[in-house]
Amino acid sequence: MPSKLKQFIDGEDMSVILRQEEDLGAADSYRTIPAVSAPLEQGLSAAEVAERKQNGYANVNTDKSSRSVSDIVKSNVFTYFNGIFIVLAVLMFSVGAWRNTMFLVVVFTNALIGIVQELRSKAAVDKLTILAEGKVTVIRDGRKAKVPTSELVRDDIVEFKNGDQICADAVVRAGEVAVNEALLTGESDAIQKLPGDSLKSGSSCTAGRCYAQLTRVGKESYASRLTAEAKSNVSATKSEMMLSLDKLIKFIGIILVPMGIALFFSQKTKADLPTADAIISTVSALIGMIPEGLYLLTSVALALSVMRLSRRKVLVRDMNCVETLARVDTLCVDKTGTITEPGMDVDELVCLDPERFPEDLVREMLYAYYGSMEADNDTAVAMNAYFRESDDAKAYASARFRPGKVVPFSSETKWSAVTFEGNDTFLIGAPEFILKEHAPIVTEYAKPWTSKGMRVLLVAYHKGPVTDATGAPYVDPYRVEPVAFVCILNRIRNQAPETFSYFAEQGVTVKVISGDNPVTVSNVARQANIANAEDYVDATTLDTPEKLQKAASQYTVFGRVTPQQKLALVKALKGEGHTVAMTGDGVNDVLALKEADCGIAMASGSQAASQISKLVLLDSDFASMPSIVAEGRQVINNIQRSASLFLVKNIFSFLFSILTLFIAFPYPLLSNQMSIISGLTIGIPGFFLALQPNATPIRGRFLPNVLFKAAPGGLTDVLLLLGVEFFAFVFRFENPELYSVSPVVMLAVGVTFLYMISRPMDRYRLVIWALMTVASLAMILIVPYSPLREWLYMEPMTGRTVLVSLLFVVLAYPTMWVLMFLFDRGRKLIENFSNRP
């Protein structure tokens, strides 16, 4: 054993390393408990762990998956529009119109519903987060144990291996690992870490195994400090829908105050209303402009979606990805663990040169080979089970092969190697990466197995070491002798064909991106019913960015892909305007998962993949993907439909308020009337429509879609109520008559628009529409003759008010139909013009 390594194992030099770590700018918290050099075989004691937890040295995650309870309450109560509502209520009370403050009930109800639903969603997400939390092996009191990463403390001795994410800053004590720091530094090359080298939290192990001592944990770790700095400088990325809503609400928020002031003076001077009536009229108009339920509806719908997904064992780390799922048109998948089942089985050993390398000799070598390295991936597990752990394999145990230097498998090199005593080196891995330009001869010979969808690994003999002058892994193809094929079987998931057929029906393009042989992957994809599976390419031939960019759209199956190429392919697809989802389970998928619009990890895979993805399938069942995509589409489609209901009122109030600035007539509705009408034709039906299944593919952008749908309804309200104002002026209606006719017309337009956007009708939508229509009729017929008229200011109808009401109720449907036709034609003309080359 090298003397330096022995010193680290014995703990003699750790104080020097830890002092170096502190000098780099450690936190003040290190002053309470001095850093210690924990014995490698013993680790910390239970008392030392408890002491560190008590004094703030635990690896507590500072980047929470969900908001705190106080944040949820504040975000639902202390909003800009709630503040506006309070000011408007104070104005109403100041003029004695306290009965016109029914909108406060709506405000309170909205806030309560929002808080309750978000708290329920938080509880579901937090529960799944605990289930999905990564676990690592730690040495304490001389024993190894698996603990959640949040249970670690500074100075713990932790084992890191291939596929693990470095969960806290550490220093290597023994062993060696290859680490990818691309997520932290952007540097894609793996970095070899030896005893004494530092490990940065947020990086991931791509090969090897080591024991490391944690030096910075929790908020003091490199990744946490980086995250905190990023959050302080850059606002969180929001989805297209939420950004559109933010823009809309910001616009309304900006114009609300000046519009209110102008409207008050217009009502007082031009309409010649008393101050109290001018305030009541102005407040009524402003109430109509505020989309008080729209943001709530969106938040509740997304929260309910997260809860439904959690019941399917799907952890949602970013709520915005629910919308992204709805817009996905390209799905990139790995072969292993996605199309096929996670486990593998060795099916056959095929000797290529039985005279020089007879089968018994090869099996002896493989028995020793897999005794020298950890089975830290599915392939190694299968090889170890077949060539070392089975009863037949144990007969090949011998002293002929004594392992020396080991080069662990890496997703970049795609091979591993062992140099035995006597300098005999054997490699196992992808033929294309071992033989390089000489590979076609061997891969052609392997076609009988690759055509069956088997993974074929090459066992090869190499003369001399497999490292270059710098110690980096390197194979000289001219010094390689093919020894044998190991044929590995990956069983296709039973539901895979049905799952991929669903995506084909939904217009989602599937791309298979794998490190395996392209012929093998193509045959597996064909068996899984993936469209155009015969269009495959060997990624080793895509040696320029231009070739890779062209291949991204041309091919369906990509074989022998490196992690950097996976990242480049996702970027290329996004560059073509596609919304890309990526599924993966390995550390080689991490960069692509991070780059994709929506990264989806299998929980059975590596920690690094699960931690970086926006969605985690806790049961690792790819067959649940159709229901997940359908969930996203349901939410966004229904939010778009319901949002158009809300904006009808806002469009009407905004346009009508502008008209009243120039025309001397009173605002035709009062705030209580607006609140009830909104509830019957917008809030209640909008909420229930948002719950209906709807897997229709998303087309276009959120705000234009909603505005084009809502505009005909809002304009119908404006035109018909202008007609009511005209009749009121000509026939000299008193204000109570105006306030009795206008709600009737508004309700008629509301139920008509509800019918229009509910098409095509099904039983569920028909029941909602019928109930709201009946409720609206009840309001018209009952309120004027009940005590409620004191609150809603609807007087019993007279002969002339009945005639005027009937006239404009009859005009509601044809007016809206014409406007919808014109807007539909106009939108098609705009789309055709924008699509011109």
- R_g (Cα) of the chain, nearest Å: 34
Q: In what order do the strands lie in the sheet with 345-351?
A: 345-351, 480-489, 455-463, 424-429, 415-420, 403-407
Closest among 179, 181, 217 to 49, alpha carbons compared: 217
What the block records as the tokens of 484 is 């044998």
Contact 415, 430 (CB under 8 A): yes
Active site residue 334: yes
Give residue for tokens 């040295």: 57
Phi, psi of 205 (to 5 degrees): -80, 130
Distance CA 398, CA 354 (A): 20
Query: How far, in Å, CA of 794 to CA of 786, rounded?
Result: 10
Residue reference for tokens 């099916």: 347
Backbone dihedral angles phi then psi of residue 533, each to the nearest 5 degrees = -65, -20
User: Are 170 and 153 within 8 A, CB to CB?
Assistant: no
> What is the DSSP code (8-state) at residue 153?
B
- Whole-angstrom Cα distance, residue 831 to residue 829? 5
- What are the two backbone dihedrals, phi and then psi, of residue 398, each rounded to the nearest 5 degrees? -155, 170
Which of 414, 442, 417 lies closest to 427 in space, CA to CA?
417
Q: Is 227 exposed, middle or buried (0-12, 13-18, 19+ CB in 10 A)?
A: middle
Give me the amino acid identity at 672.
N
Distance in angstroms (rounded) separating the CA atoms of residues 72 and 303: 12
Is the CB of residue 480 less than 8 Å from the CB of residue 461?
A: yes
Degrees to nearest 5, angle at CA 235 with 232 and 237: 140
Distance, in Å, from the CA atom of 207 to the CA atom of 409, rounded to the nearest integer, reads 6
What DSSP character marks residue 349? Answer: E
Nearest residue to 600 (alpha-carbon basis) of 586, 587, 617: 617
Query: Is the sign of the CA dihedral 131, 133, 137, 142 positive or negative?
Result: negative
Q: Is residue 414 a contact partner of residue 515, using CB atoms and an 8 Å limit?
A: yes
Residues 6 or more apart whose CB falls under 8 angstroms from that of 64 comprise: none
Cβ atoms of 454 and 489 within 8 Å: the answer is yes
Q: How far is 781 from 794, CA to CA, in rounded Å?
A: 10
Task: Please say whether the beta carbons of 483 and 428 come within 8 A.
Answer: no
Please, are residues 743 and 794 in contact by the beta-carbon 8 Å criterion? yes
Query: d(Cα 49, Cα 76) in Å, to the nearest integer?
Result: 40
C-alpha closest to that of 691 among 287, 424, 308: 308
Label the pairing between strands 330-333 and 509-513: parallel
User: CA dist 370 to 346, 375, 389, 401, 695, Å?
Assistant: 14, 8, 10, 11, 49
- Marked catalytic residue, from 155, 156, 334, 538: 334
- Residue of 130, 62, 143, 476 whose CA lies nearest to 315: 130
Show which residues are catalytic.
334
